[in-house]
């Protein structure tokens, strides 16, 4: 598993297309959201407060870069079969589950590196411009609790999805899923947005960091469908959301392994 993780990480981190696509998307992100990105004040808190600023930075970073993250992972799991080396890897002295976990951890970690660089880079800039060293501590806490759980789930989803359909249509559906299930207002249509199944990290932001009025922002959608999936944003529910993200990722990987075993038999 460790050898697979190391190999997959190095192979993915060296892909020029990954850095090019992330770079172009970052330019679009800054150009379209420049006022909020410059001040890190989205109307949810004082832009001069390090905690609120890092929460705003996390929301802006994930808004578009999560799409790139999922799309870049969409061909990683099926690549071995496409190149005709799957049977060779199956003969290696490593369990299939170990290879799957190693591939998942390696490619997801490598693909998340640009996201981490963007987020922590903005934190460093904020630290120097505002002169508040505590920003770095807040950035670590926000990344670990608001951004990382969503990436864990999205990585498993993006790896497994192309087993059911070709990568290109999956990428189209992944983009549609990201906007439908994570970003649109909950009362616009039946959606998973703002529920404990959304990967944006709102529950951690509100429940753990008291980002803003959780009763009005997270689950206060009186006319929305699926409101039973929008409990109050408390610390316990924030931890529940993180657990749901990890559990969904584990379930997807388990189903992926069972699918592979069935295909081999």
Domain boundaries, the chain: 2-264
What is the pLDDT confidence band of residue 45, given thresholds at 50, 70 and 90?
low
Query: Which pair of tokens denotes residue 15?
Result: 């892909």
- Token pair, residue 220, equals 């206060």
- Alpha-carbon distance 156 to 168, whole Å? 17
Question: pLDDT band at residue 216, thresholds of 50, 70 and 90?
Answer: very low
Tell me what pLDDT residue 212 has.
Answer: 55
pTM for this entry: 0.91
Q: What angle do CA 131, 119, 2 make, to 5 degrees?
A: 130
Considering only CA atoms, which of 123, 110, 31, 22 is closest in space to residue 67?
A: 22
Residue 235 predicted with pLDDT over 80: yes
Higher pLDDT, 252 or 93: 252
> 117: helix, coil or strand?
helix
Using CA atoms, how far apart are residues 62 and 75, in angstroms rounded to an integer? 21
Cα 85 to chain centroid distance, Å, stands at 29
What is the pLDDT at residue 217?
46
The sign of the dihedral angle between the CA atoms of 88, 90, 95, 97 is positive
- Rounded to whole angstroms, the Cα distance separating 127 from 148 reads 22
CB 246 within 8 A of CB 149: yes
d(CA 73, CA 128): 34
DSSP 187-202: TTSS--TTSTT-SS-H
Q: What's the pLDDT at 147?
A: 97
What is the average pLDDT score of the chain?
A: 87
- In terms of pLDDT, which residue wins out, 42 or 111? 111
Which tokens in the block code for residue 102? Answer: 């190693």
């Amino acid at each position: 598993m460790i050898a697979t993780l190391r190999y997959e990480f190095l192979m993915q981190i060296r892909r020029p297309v990954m850095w090019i696509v992330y770079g172009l998307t970052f330019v679009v992100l800054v150009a379209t959201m420049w006022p909020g990105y410059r001040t890190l004040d989205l109307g949810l808190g004082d832009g001069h407060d390090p905690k609120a600023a890092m929460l705003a930075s996390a929301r802006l970073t994930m808004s578009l870069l999560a799409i790139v993250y999922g799309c870049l992972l969409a061909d990683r799991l099926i690549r071995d079969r496409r190149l005709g080396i799957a049977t060779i890897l199956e003969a290696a002295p490593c369990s299939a589950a170990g290879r799957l976990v190693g591939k998942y951890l390696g490619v997801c970690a490598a693909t998340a590196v640009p996201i981490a660089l963007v987020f922590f880079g903005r934190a460093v800039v904020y630290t120097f411009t505002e002169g508040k060293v505590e920003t770095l501590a807040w950035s670590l806490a926000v990344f670990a609790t608001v951004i990382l759980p969503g990436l864990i789930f999205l990585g498993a989803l993006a790896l497994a999805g192309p087993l059911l359909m070709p990568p290109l249509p999956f990428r189209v559906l992944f983009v549609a899923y990201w906007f439908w299930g994570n970003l649109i207002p909950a009362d616009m249509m039946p959606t998973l947005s703002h529920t404990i199944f959304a990967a944006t990290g709102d529950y951690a932001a509100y429940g753990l960091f008291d980002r803003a009025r959780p009763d009005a922002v997270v689950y206060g959608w009186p006319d929305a469908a699926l409101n039973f999936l929008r409990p109050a944003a408390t610390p316990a529910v924030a931890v529940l959301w993180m657990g749901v993200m990890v559990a969904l990722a584990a379930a997807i990987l388990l189903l992926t392994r069972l699918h592979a075993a069935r295909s081999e038999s």
